[in-house]
């Protein structure tokens, strides 16, 4: 039983779990035995993910939240702390992709939303759930990034800049908690994956040419059921 449900007894929070990699990760974590708190703005989509988890024999709690709302994360943390003393796993999968275009034509409102969702919300999540993660026997944080964070690409600057900041926050947090707690942090670049965000960025691409979100989810679960040094980084292959 322990081998089939390696995450039994653990509580996981997955942001952006109404679709794409976030939803696939929530399903995979639940299948591995974790109780998964699924968050996102689309309640109907979250209910669909919850139904799929239950059909697979897993358990989940829906916690709708808009990461762009100033008090959304604080309310989420308060609600979870009222039910659980610890948080074993935090997967930060939510992200916002602004319209692609040159630096000189970036839409200010879209950039502002990207900064809020991709950067400010990440800091708020780490700050709000740090106590629960530290109380867990082995708290784990996994953040999903993009190759453009480290390798700037023309027309991707609005998104890339926020993901570069995202990585910096996670790296810094990893160094701050690594020697004083059992919390470990990993940054995963999923590579090209069949998601709605990918379709927006590459409208002419054949979706069958890139891997499904479940492939990324399986790797995340494998990472969380094993052991890794804090500050761990990896990139998945394009196809799968």
Nearest alpha-carbon partner for 98 in 116, 110, 115, 112 = 110
* Torsion (CA) 112, 117, 121, 125 in degrees, nearest 10: 180
| Closest among 171, 201, 197, 199 to 184, alpha carbons compared | 171
Tell me if residue 173 is catalytic.
no
> Is residue 69 a contact partner of residue 120, using CB atoms and an 8 Å limit?
no
Q: Which residues of 72-82 are buried (b: 16+ CB within 10 A; e: fewer)?
A: bbeebbeebbe
Whole-number Å distance between alpha carbons of 41 and 22: 13
Which of 96, 155, 159, 202 is flagged as catalytic? 159
Give the Cα separation of 91 and 48 in Å (integer).
Answer: 19
Q: How buried is 220 (Cβ within 10 angstroms: 0-12 exposed, 13-18 middle, 19+ buried)?
A: buried
Q: How far apart are CA 211 and CA 85, in angstroms?
A: 37
Taking a C-beta distance cutoff of 8 angstroms, is the pair 77, 87 a contact?
no
What residues are labeled active site?
159
């Amino acid at each position: 039983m322990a081998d089939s449900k390696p995450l039994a007894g653990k509580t996981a929070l997955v942001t952006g779990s109404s679709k794409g990699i976030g939803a696939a990760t929530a399903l995979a974590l639940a299948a591995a035995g974790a109780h998964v708190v699924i968050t996102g703005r689309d309640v109907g989509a979250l209910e669909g993910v919850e139904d799929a988890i239950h059909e697979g024999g897993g358990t989940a709690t829906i916690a709708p939240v808009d990461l762009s709302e100033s008090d959304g994360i604080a309310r989420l943390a308060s609600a979870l702390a009222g039910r659980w003393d610890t948080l074993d796993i935090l997967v930060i999968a939510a992200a916002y992709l602004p319209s692609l275009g040159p630096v000189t034509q970036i839409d200010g409102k879209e950039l502002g939303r990207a900064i809020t969702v991709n950067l400010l919300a990440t800091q708020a999540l780490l700050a709000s759930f740090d106590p629960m993660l530290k109380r867990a026997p082995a708290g784990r944080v996994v953040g999903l990034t993009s190759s453009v964070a480290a390798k700037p690409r023309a027309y991707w600057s609005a998104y890339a800049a926020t993901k570069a900041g995202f990585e910096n926050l996670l790296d810094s947090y990893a160094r701050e908690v690594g020697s004083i707690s059992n919390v470990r942090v990993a940054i995963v670049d999923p590579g090209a994956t069949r998601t709605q965000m990918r379709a927006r960025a590459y409208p002419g691409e054949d979706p069958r040419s890139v891997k499904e979100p479940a492939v990324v989810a399986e790797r995340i679960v494998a990472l969380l059921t094993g052991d890794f040094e804090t500050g761990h980084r990896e990139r998945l292959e394009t196809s799968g």
